[in-house]
């Protein structure tokens, strides 16, 4: 696997070998939209205005696409299109996106090929997909945990407030690497901005209704007031009847959905305000007095759980490299031989990967590091390929490094296979040969 052309050519060979059987499928993990946004250099929702089929000197086809951004006054949500050519593999087996002029798409594109610096590649593995809005929103492939009608709004939020990588474990009470499943995390007092979004008043003009959720003593009741035509979706309200001339009105400004509520006892009401997909405020309200007796900011830890588990490969604590067998006086600084650097691009797309015989068996504790271990996989019966996940491609001081998880048995043959070694390794051998490759068509 020496270049992106050779990586894509694997799929074409697979089709010939299988004859009339179905073409190989592109297989890659589905990530949260925040992860796709973070990993991409360019993000936009736009309309394809032109599509050109281009054949490289190696004979591999790609689509070069001209896209007009929508919703953002002609600019991408992240990055710049100046001097950039958006490209996707020609076939879906190579994780290409089927692009047609006049259709709309969500595009997460990345640069990084030194030999073709103008190209920014987008694939189905990078999160790119056809976009459908309005009444057709249900036709779009959904992002994990995000309603289709919220995709553009969430991308705008991410453009204005990029997600921060979790850095201090105390923010989550315990490390998400050690959680057995996602959890919500309470984080102290809400910000002043979130506090200002909650308003509690007594209102004698609100009509009294018989429906709603009764309190345990079957005397009080609350209901979520439905939105009236023309009202903004963020104008959510909870109406509480406590047998007074006025009703308690709890208003939530800029909430993305109705509040969640239930009675704690005869007069205490728990309310969770939903500000976003991961940000909430929990309130305990004395319904008789109309006062807040408890409030706390809450974060959905699902994204943190995924990020930490991915970073630590399921290990708790996060060991990554189990021990250190040796230390170098100088970090390896191998450079790519001519034509080798292009092979880095398919490794960024998180498709099925492997290490080949050019890998020397060393796994380092950090990129450009000195401490390393020798993987026992290299000491077993020699193989042409070692199953691996390439989790990150990074350039450090002019040298390219790969963060990998290594398997003894390929996940193609054992879906429950777990990594047996993980860490960093130089992307190129001392001879300048790329040590990793991909199967764009999957297993």
Phi, psi at 17, each rounded to 5°: -65, -35
DSSP-assigned letters across all residues of 385-404 = EEEEEEEEEEEETTEEEEEE
The residue among 25, 69, 66 whose CA lies nearest residue 48 is 66
User: CB–CB of 396/347 below 8 Å?
Assistant: no
Q: How far is residue 283's CA from residue 274's CA, in Å, rounded to a whole number?
A: 11
Q: How far apart are CA 189 and CA 168, in angstroms?
A: 18
Tokens of 304: 């943190």
For residue 377, the model assigns a pLDDT of 81
DSSP 277: S
Domain spans in the chain, listed from the N-terminal domain onward: 31-160, 185-300, 320-439
The β-bridge partners of 32 are: none
Cα-only R_g, the chain: 26
Cα distance between residue 254 and residue 197, in whole Å: 7
Q: DSSP labels for 43-100?
A: EEEEEEEEEEEEE-TTS-EEEEEEEEE-SSTTS-SBS--TT-EEEEESSGGGT-----
Q: Considering only CA atoms, which of 229, 226, 228, 230 is closest in space to residue 239? A: 226
Q: What is the C-alpha to C-alpha distance for residues 388 and 369, in angstroms, rounded to an integer?
A: 20
The CATH number of domain 31-160 is 2.40.160.20: no
pLDDT at residue 21 in the model: 39
pLDDT at residue 106, rounded to an integer: 97
Relative to beta strand 436-439, strand 421-426 is unpaired
pLDDT at 17: 34
Which residues on adjacent β-strands are paired with residue 198?
252
pLDDT tens digits, the chain, 443 residues: what are they?
334 444 444 344 333 333 333 444 566 666 778 888 988 999 999 999 999 999 887 777 899 999 999 988 889 999 999 999 999 999 888 889 999 999 999 999 998 666 788 899 999 989 999 999 988 988 999 887 678 888 999 899 888 876 554 444 446 777 787 788 889 988 888 888 889 999 999 999 988 888 899 999 999 999 998 766 666 666 789 999 999 999 999 999 888 889 999 999 999 999 999 998 889 999 999 999 999 999 999 988 888 888 777 666 666 656 555 555 577 888 888 789 998 988 898 888 767 789 998 898 888 888 888 878 788 787 666 778 899 988 889 998 889 999 888 888 887 787 777 777 888 999 999 899 999 998 876 66
């Amino acid at each position: 696997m020496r270049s992106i052309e050779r990586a894509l050519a694997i799929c074409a060979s697979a089709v010939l070998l299988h004859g009339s059987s179905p073409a190989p499928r592109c297989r890659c993990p589905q990530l949260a939209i925040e992860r796709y946004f973070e990993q991409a250099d360019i993000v936009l929702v736009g309309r394809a205005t032109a599509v050109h089929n281009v054949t490289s000197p190696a004979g591999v086809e790609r689509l070069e696409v001209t896209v007009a951004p929508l919703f953002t006054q002609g600019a991408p949500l992240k990055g710049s299109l100046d001097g950039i050519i958006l490209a996707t593999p020609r076939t879906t087996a190579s994780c290409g996106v089927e692009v047609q002029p006049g259709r709309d798409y969500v595009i997460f594109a990345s640069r990084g090929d030194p030999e073709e610096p103008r190209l920014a590649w987008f694939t189905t593995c990078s999160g790119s997909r056809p976009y459908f809005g309005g009444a057709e929103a249900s036709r779009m492939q959904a992002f994990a945990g995000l309603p289709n009608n919220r995709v553009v709004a969430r991308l705008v939020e991410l453009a204005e407030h990029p997600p921060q990588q979790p850095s201090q474990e105390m923010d989550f009470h315990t490390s998400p690497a050690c959680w057995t499943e996602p959890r919500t995390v309470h984080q102290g007092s809400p910000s002043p901005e979130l506090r200002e979004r909650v308003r509690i008043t007594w209102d004698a003009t609100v009509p009294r209704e018989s429906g709603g959720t009764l309190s345990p003593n079957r005397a009080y009741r609350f209901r979520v007031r439905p939105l009236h035509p023309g009202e903004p979706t963020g104008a959510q309200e909870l109406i509480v009847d406590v047998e007074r001339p006025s009703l308690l009105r709890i208003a939530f400004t800029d909430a993305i959905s109705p509040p969640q509520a239930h009675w704690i006892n005869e007069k205490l009401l728990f309310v969770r305000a939903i500000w976003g997909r991961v940000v909430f405020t929990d309130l305990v309200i004395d319904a008789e007095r109309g006062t807040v007796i408890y409030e706390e900011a809450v974060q959905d830890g699902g994204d943190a759980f995924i990020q930490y588990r991915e970073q630590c490969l399921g290990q708790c604590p996060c060991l990554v490299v189990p021990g250190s067998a040796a230390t170098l006086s100088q970090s390896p600084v191998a450079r790519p031989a001519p034509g080798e650097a292009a092979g880095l691009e398919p490794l960024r797309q998180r498709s099925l990967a492997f290490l080949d015989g050019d890998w020397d068996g060393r796994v380092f504790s950090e990129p450009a590091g000195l401490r390393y271990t020798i993987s026992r996989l290299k000491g077993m019966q020699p193989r042409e390929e070692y199953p691996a996940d390439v989790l990150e491609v990074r350039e450090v001081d002019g040298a390219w490094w790969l963060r990998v998880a290594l398997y003894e048995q390929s996940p193609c043959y054992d879906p429950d296979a777990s990594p047996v070694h993980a860490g960093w390794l130089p992307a190129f051998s001392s001879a300048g040969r790329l040590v990793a490759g991909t199967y764009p068509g999957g297993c």
